[in-house]
Homo-oligomer: A and B are copies of this chain.
């Protein structure tokens, strides 16, 4: 019952066995099972897009094994670091970690990194059904391939407000050929070097880079080999006439994506673990860190296969689209569909993306009504700055940097030296700041100060986008909150108007999410209850943006956090003392 449940077949058999067992001996239904995984994390050579590079794998795989669980289950992941000289930490994206803030896996915030040779035990309850992710949350390791899916089913006997025959998960990703070290050094050097466009897009870990476009063509066929089976397109097999719940998630390092299936509409039914009032789309926009469930019906000509494609939006990227195959059984899964793969919307079609954002509402009957007012409003201006010659992203002119002692430990043990005790500001110069102009950098600083939120209060977060360092440019940022879901109260263009815009908030049926886009030159208004004791990151989910300082940390109810496990310690002020 507590073994590695990583294959559908295995699970079906197990569930069948469990069912038979229960029907035979009539014991009460087992609730709150423990799902126990043992993972080894290491570097391996892989060719996910035909180009061979070092990838961080879990038990030999990237994406890692999908965690399949039922609401209320306890997940235990014993993670052994076999990266030789590099540490690791894994975040369980979308899991609120109620009562277990030390298992959030955010290096520098909730734990020290796991050093090579050590085994760290993550243990937490998946208290809500839905679609979630896990991924590295240390340095820029996520883009090295350390990520996977979490799928939490409803308890037996409970049903969703929609029906389907089969359940499938795919993760979308963008992919670079340079190492995370090359990216990190480029981004942090005085001689700044941007990571640039990804070389390819991956669908469920598989993509296709055109080896002939290498700027340094390799004579070694091993380096880039278009016939490598590792980079054959991902094929999802469907039975004609059946309806599929397709859980689609994006874990991109940089790219906003559009996802589409040739000849098939998609009905959006879930977002970040919450039921959506269904709406139909031809393409689904996904920002890094977002998860959706869509329903698709295999109702097209069953004699052929169909393309599934994904392409970069919001940036005019050189990255080619990612391709996968919707395989109608019994056609061969490798058979190319007899059509041009569908192109998604133009990269600069901002309106259609905003429309999708606005379309996502809570499902009738599953509405969590937000508190009508908030106790505190924090406006977070996102700007690109230069601080001491380094290119940084800042929030209210403060560029985030990690402390050496994780906040959770420093706060709980009152180690006031461990981080800057001055909180960053709750706003910016609303009157004079022109969001359409390149930022004035004179007052930007680097700090590890945090926001302290009174426990059980309601907080509004207004994310305000602005111009980057380049004239007439503003970028899309997906912001992700740890430890909580927030209500998405509204989106707007231009500068947020603190007096009039709140009147337009959707307080009736706002969706709850954990990741949300802030559109170019626009704002996004969120509300959440600071009801989960701990220290929680809130940051842009673009890997390089967070690395460059685009994030903040919230503390709330630290006195209510239980005894910290010593396993999260060992760095900074908690370095190297033997157990008594």
Chain A interface residues toward B at CB < 8 A? 43-45, 54, 84-88, 112-113, 115-118, 138-141, 179-182, 184-185, 189, 214-220, 223, 402, 404, 409, 413, 566-580
- Given the contacts A113-B116, A219-B216, A54 and B570 also touching, CB distance less than 8 Å: no
- Given the contacts A117-B571, A575-B118, A85 and B87 also touching, CB distance less than 8 Å: yes
Contacts of A217 in B (CB 8 A): 216
A214 to B88, CA, bound (A): 34
Q: Could you list 19 examples of A-B contacts with CB < 8 Å?
A: A44-B185, A54-B179, A54-B181, A85-B113, A85-B139, A86-B86, A87-B116, A113-B116, A115-B570, A115-B575, A179-B181, A216-B223, A566-B577, A567-B576, A569-B577, A570-B570, A570-B571, A574-B577, A577-B580
Q: Look across to chain B and name the residue whose beta carbon is closest to the beta carbon of A566.
A: B577
A577 to B85, CA, bound (A): 21
Contacts of A577 in B (CB 8 A): 566, 569-570, 574, 577-580
Q: A84-B139, A117-B572, A570-B570 are in contact. List 5 more A-B contacts (CB 8 A).
A: A87-B115, A112-B576, A115-B571, A215-B218, A566-B575
The reply to whether A118 and B185 contact each other, CB–CB distance below 8 Å, is: no
Contacts of A570 in B (CB 8 A): 115, 570-571, 575-577
Contacts of A215 in B (CB 8 A): 218-220
Of the candidates A43, A44, A566, A575, the one having the most CB atoms from chain B within 10 angstroms of its own CB is: A575
The reply to whether B85 and A404 contact each other, CB–CB distance below 8 Å, is: no
Q: Look across to chain B and name the residue whose beta carbon is closest to the beta carbon of A44.
A: B185
Q: Look across to chain B and name the residue whose beta carbon is closest to the beta carbon of A54.
A: B181
A217 to B116, CA, bound (A): 36
Instruction: Give chain B nearest CB distance to A324 CB in angstroms.
Output: 28
Contacts of A214 in B (CB 8 A): 216
Instruction: Give chain B nearest CB distance to A65 CB in angstroms.
Output: 20
What 7 A-B pairs come out closest when comparing CB atoms?
A570-B576, A569-B576, A85-B139, A117-B404, A570-B570, A216-B216, A216-B218
Instruction: Give chain B nearest CB distance to A110 CB in angstroms.
Output: 13
Contacts of A218 in B (CB 8 A): 215-216
Contacts of A579 in B (CB 8 A): 573-574, 577
Which single member of B118, B138, B141, B223 contacts A571 (CB below 8 Å)? B118
A559 to B402, CA, bound (A): 40
Contacts of A568 in B (CB 8 A): 576
- Given the contacts A44-B189, A115-B112, A220-B216, A85 and B141 also touching, CB distance less than 8 Å: yes
Instruction: Give chain B nearest CB distance to A228 CB in angstroms.
Output: 14
Contacts of A409 in B (CB 8 A): 578
A189 to B139, CA, bound (A): 25
Instruction: Give chain B nearest CB distance to A280 CB in angstroms.
Output: 43
Q: Look across to chain B and name the residue whose beta carbon is closest to the beta carbon of A413.
A: B578
Contacts of A54 in B (CB 8 A): 179, 181-182, 185
Contacts of A112 in B (CB 8 A): 115, 576
A84 to B107, CA, bound (A): 11
Which single member of B115, B573, B580 contacts A115 (CB below 8 Å)? B115
Instruction: Give chain B nearest CB distance to A556 CB in angstroms.
Output: 22
- Given the contacts A115-B115, A185-B45, A219-B216, A580 and B578 also touching, CB distance less than 8 Å: no
A289 to B573, CA, bound (A): 35
